[in-house]
Amino acid sequence: MATVRISAAAAPSSFSTLFTHEKAGMSNVDKEKIKRIVYEMSKDSAHFKEQERRDQRVTEHINACRERHQRIGADELKSHEQRADRLLVELDGHRNLERTWACVDMDAFFAACEALEDPSLRGDVVFAVGGTSMISTASYAARRYGVRSAMPGFIAQRLCREAGVSLRFVPVDFPKYLKFAELARTAFRLFDPHFIAASCDEAFLDLTDYCAHHAISGAEAATRLRHQVLEATRGLTCSVGIASSRMLAKIASDVNKPNGQYVVPAEREAIVSFIGPMPLRKIPGIGRVTERVLREVLGAETCAELLAKRAALCALFTARVAREHLSALLGIGGEGPPPLQREGEPSQKGVSQERTFEPTGAPL
């Protein structure tokens, strides 16, 4: 038997690299099982060692923050809290609920494109786009087993095998996805000719004028938008979030994924109760490192919890960072038009081409 047994020993509960954070289509998965398998297959690799090294640096940073946190006196904290509250009041006071933003995000984009061109991938086929080294995305059928973007394919394969199903791989084909992205954009243009393309499968549309002109709600516009995308692409579904800011719309677009929509009413109360229970990781810009820092320094997991720690937040982080986080906690970010780009200015700021090569030698 060549198969390696996955031990029953639990993975250390601390790793933030084990592909277990929330993601569309992954609510019903057995997270402990996935964590265990991923850990077992990763723990001896050079890649894992490198991750640990980086995590260690973050841990040091966290410890430094904790110490500073300890040493803050009650008076100092009080003054930070007042500063935070003044800032919150100011931000809240300038809240702009006038615009109706949509965030459109295609569902399992690369995978859906492939399925559209290959009937054998239709239905509930468990497949991933990529290879055994790396996966770009996975069908929703595959996500049930924990398969997801940026996961090594051979681990994904094992996750499926342990569940008794086999994972099919489809190689990536960028030009194909760009064609479909172009089709989807023809639909976007019907609603907002100035839409902001955030990535090849994602865009922000300002639906204010469209809704006013057609005298319809954001929800109705979202439904029409999804319909038009389906038509224009001849079969691709997307999910749409509607809110008064691009930040909220983005979070909302994930709520009823796939092939769904969610509206955050343009009212202060609704916004606050929408954002409050959100895990901090849902906030765009808060990734796996910042999430750890906020949890391990301040004990905050959700937006509401971080809001309660606003004094320490202001004390420990730079003004710029604190302000950005506080804005997000109020559901504010990206209400106005995006910064205009000057005439003739190229929209892209850089190009790069990189390739991973084998390790070069001992790192010292």
Residues that bind Mg ion (CB under 5 A): 105-106, 109, 201-202
- d(C-alpha 220, C-alpha 8), whole Å: 50
Q: Which does 110 bind (CB under 5 to 8 A by kind): its own copies, ligand DTP, Mg ion, none?
A: ligand DTP
Kindly state whether residue 269 participates in binding DNA, applying the rule CB under 7 A: no
- d(C-alpha 37, C-alpha 5), whole Å: 10
CB of 109 to ligand DTP, least distance (A): 3
Residue among 35, 99, 257, 282 that touches ligand DTP (CB under 6 A): 257
Nearer to ligand DTP, 13 or 352 (CB): 352
Stretch that binds DNA, among 139-147, 203-211, 232-240, 283-291 (CB under 7 A): 283-291
Quick one: how many helices (H) and strands (E) in the chain? 15, 8
Q: Which does 258 bind (CB under 5 to 8 A by kind): Mg ion, DNA, ligand DTP, none?
A: ligand DTP
Site string for its own copies, 103-142 (x = CB under 8 A): -----------------------------x----------
Nearer to ligand DTP, 105 or 192 (CB): 105
Determine whether 358 is an active site residue. Answer: no
Going by C-alpha positions, the residue among 57, 72, 53 that lies closest to residue 317 is 72
Report CA torsion sign: 143, 146, 151, 155: negative
Which DSSP helix (H) or strand (E) runs through 198? strand 196-199
The answer to whether 241 and 249 have CB atoms below 8 angstroms apart is yes
Kindly state whether residue 105 participates in binding ligand DTP, applying the rule CB under 6 A: yes
CB of 175 to its own copies, least distance (A): 9
Kindly state whether residue 355 participates in binding its own copies, applying the rule CB under 8 A: yes
Kindly state whether residue 96 participates in binding its own copies, applying the rule CB under 8 A: no
The answer to whether 222 and 240 have CB atoms below 8 angstroms apart is yes
Nearer to DNA, 12 or 284 (CB): 284
Strand 135-138, strand 127-130: pairing:
antiparallel
Q: Which among 202, 291, 305, 335 is annotated as catalytic?
A: 202
Site for ligand DTP in 171-210 (CB under 6 A): 201-202
End-to-end CA distance of the chain: 39
The answer to whether 240 and 259 have CB atoms below 8 angstroms apart is no
Nearer to ligand DTP, 149 or 290 (CB): 149
Report CA torsion sign: 195, 105, 123, 165: positive
CB of 3 to its own copies, least distance (A): 11
Judged on CB neighbours under 10 Å (0-12, 13-18, 19+), 74 is exposed
Kindly state whether residue 42 participates in binding ligand DTP, applying the rule CB under 6 A: no
| Tally of CB atoms within 10 A around 364 | 3
Residue 266 token pair: 């343009």
- d(C-alpha 359, C-alpha 346), whole Å: 36
Hey, which residues are catalytic here?
202
Name the residues that contact ligand DTP, by CB under 6 A: 24, 105-110, 136-137, 149-150, 201-202, 257-258
Name the residues that contact its own copies, by CB under 8 A: 2, 132, 166, 168, 355, 357
